[in-house]
Structure 1
Amino acid sequence: MKVLEYILIVTFVFFGNTLNAQEDKEKQKELREAQQYLSDATDALEENNFPQAEAEYRKSIAINPANDTGKYNLGNAYYEKEKNGEAMLRFKQAAAVATNKPEKHKAFHNLGNTFMNEKKYKEAVEAYKNALRNNPTDDETRYNLALAKKMLEEENKNGGGDEGDKEQKKQDENKEDQQNKDNQDQQNEGDKGDKEKDKEQDQGEKKEDKKEGDNQEDKGKPEEKEEQGDKKPQQQPQPGKLSPQQVKSLLEAMNNQEKKVQEKINAKKTKGAKVKSNKDW
């Protein structure tokens, strides 16, 4: 009986070790595949084939999600292509799964850079602090931290640090713009009304002027009629004697002739004089 128990125990141990060995073998195979995908992604980047590199990195991450290398490298690839949002996500993932300080430091440092690109200075400060906790001697991270703090202070000084304040400020600006627009509309309406009034007034004045002119014209017609009625008939000229009308015409002709002679004399006196012209400027 004891011998049988011993045989069964040995059998179970053997099969258990066999299963573990099989699982380890499968695991090792997956790890090798993930590593191969990483290598292929690196080659694709060197050939400037970003889509292929992205696909290879994703395959490696899917097979071995616990490895931070694929996530970190993919984050760097996104960062170089100025895909800041995607890079931020991958650096966060890399920092979460990294198992040693150097890897955590690099992931947090680059994560801080993505926050700076988005002008999220508060988050950038925290990321750089985490990077320095894992590598206090990195001068570049220390410089970036100082810069992020300075930008954060300036943002808070200008009242832009709180998202609620930003939203309130935006609403106030929109309200002010709308009020200015309403005031402008009211002013335009007032100007339009004044123009209408001026137009009506002008039309009224024109009507009054026309009416007054018509009245004056009407008043003038009877006077003309009266003048025509009061006119006396001209005297008939007698033979051998000039009529008053003929004497008047003769005097006018003599005066006109004298006037023409005087004008010629005056023209000769003023012939060389310069004349200044008036110009409209």
Structure 2
Amino acid sequence: MKRFIIVIYIVLQGSVVFAQKEKRDIHNGNKLYQQQKYAEAEASYRKSVEKTKESVAGNFNLGDALYKQKKFDNAAQKFNEIASTSDDKSVRAQAYHNLGNSLLESKKLEESIEAYKKSLMNNPKDDQTRYNLAYAQEKLKQQQQQEKDNKDKNKDKKDQNKKEQDKKDQDKKDQEKKDQQDKDKNDQDKKDQQGQQPQADKLSKEDAERMLEALKNEEKNTQDKLKNKKAKGVKKRIVKDW
């Protein structure tokens, strides 16, 4: 698209017969406007409309002075008033054109498109308004595409965050499960070790039999010794009875 050029329609001179003071205020405002002293021009135009509120030139140029100061909302309000009240199709076309420009600068693209369309309804031959309309429509298309891209991007990011969170939750569950399994295994190992350890106060059957056999043998030896001792007898001193 070509570089966007805003054309502001300005009513510096008019064929309407003004009161002498009103004409002087508008004339002074026009001089200040041409010198790019827009705040001073605004003040002068306001004086003119205070004297004649229906002044097309005073109100129109006041809107232009507001626009030049980037007071776009105030300018839009002024141009909308002119377009809504004027019976002159040429004035309405210019007012809607400038209204579209003011709305465009405020990023109100859909509203600016409607204003440009109304301007063309009053003056279908205005190529600059047609160009501005196409520009605004293209900007709106780009804005909608950007919003869609941002929405898709946010959705992808949200989905990715959900996947990451789900993975963290699953990893946590897996770790907890593993920890429990390790704990259960350790507990079972301890039980198995305790079951394999011999009890100190309990003899095996073989050990008991060997001990019993040893005791029997020891008892037998003792009995044998006693028998031998008894057979030999004990030597006693013989006392002869004379």
With structure 1 as the length reference, what TM-score do the two structures score? 0.44
Match of 1:144 in 2: 132
Q: Would you say the 8 A contact 1:30–1:63 is kept in 2?
A: no
Residues 108-187 of structure 1 mapped to structure 2, 5 A cutoff:
108-159=96-147
1:41 to 17, 23, 29: 29
Aligned positions, number: 142
Unaligned runs of 5+ in 1: 1-28, 161-165, 184-281
What is the percent sequence identity of the aligned residues? 33
Q: Would you say the 8 A contact 1:105–1:135 is kept in 2?
A: yes
Unaligned runs of 5+ in 2: 1-16, 166-242
Q: Would you say the 8 A contact 1:122–1:152 is kept in 2?
A: yes
Residues 47 and 152 (structure 1), Cα distance of their counterparts in 2 relative to 1, 3 Å cut: closer
Match of 2:224 in 1: none
1:76 to 64, 73, 82: 64
Residues 30 and 113 (structure 1), Cα distance of their counterparts in 2 relative to 1, 3 Å cut: closer
Tell me how far 1:102 sits from its aligned partner: 1.0
Q: Would you say the 8 A contact 2:38–2:68 is kept in 1?
A: no
SS at match of 1:82: coil
Residues 50-129 of structure 1 mapped to structure 2, 5 A cutoff:
50-129=38-117
SS at match of 2:19: helix
Q: Would you say the 8 A contact 2:113–2:133 is kept in 1?
A: yes
Tell me how far 1:67 sits from its aligned partner: 2.1
For 1:127 and 1:48, the matched residues in 2 are separated by 27
Tell me how far 1:30 sits from its aligned partner: 7.9
For 2:106 and 2:138, the matched residues in 1 are separated by 16
Residues 139 and 49 (structure 1), Cα distance of their counterparts in 2 relative to 1, 3 Å cut: closer
With structure 2 as the length reference, what TM-score do the two structures score? 0.50
Tell me how far 1:47 sits from its aligned partner: 4.2
For 1:96 and 1:62, the matched residues in 2 are separated by 19
Tell me how far 1:132 sits from its aligned partner: 0.3
Give the structure with the larger helix fraction.
1
Q: What RMSD in Å do the two structures reach over aligned CA positions? A: 3.2
Q: Could you list the runs of 4 or more consecutive aligned residues of structure 1 that deviate by over 6 angstroms after TM superposition?
A: none
For 1:61 and 1:97, the matched residues in 2 are separated by 15
Residues 157-236 of structure 1 mapped to structure 2, 5 A cutoff:
157-159=145-147
Tell me how far 1:100 sits from its aligned partner: 0.6
Higher relative contact order, structure no. (Cα contacts within 8 Å, ≥ 6 residues apart): 2
Residues 10-49 of structure 1 mapped to structure 2, 5 A cutoff:
31-49=19-37
For 2:133 and 2:67, the matched residues in 1 are separated by 19
For 1:47 and 1:151, the matched residues in 2 are separated by 32
Q: Would you say the 8 A contact 2:38–2:66 is kept in 1?
A: no
Tell me how far 1:158 sits from its aligned partner: 4.0
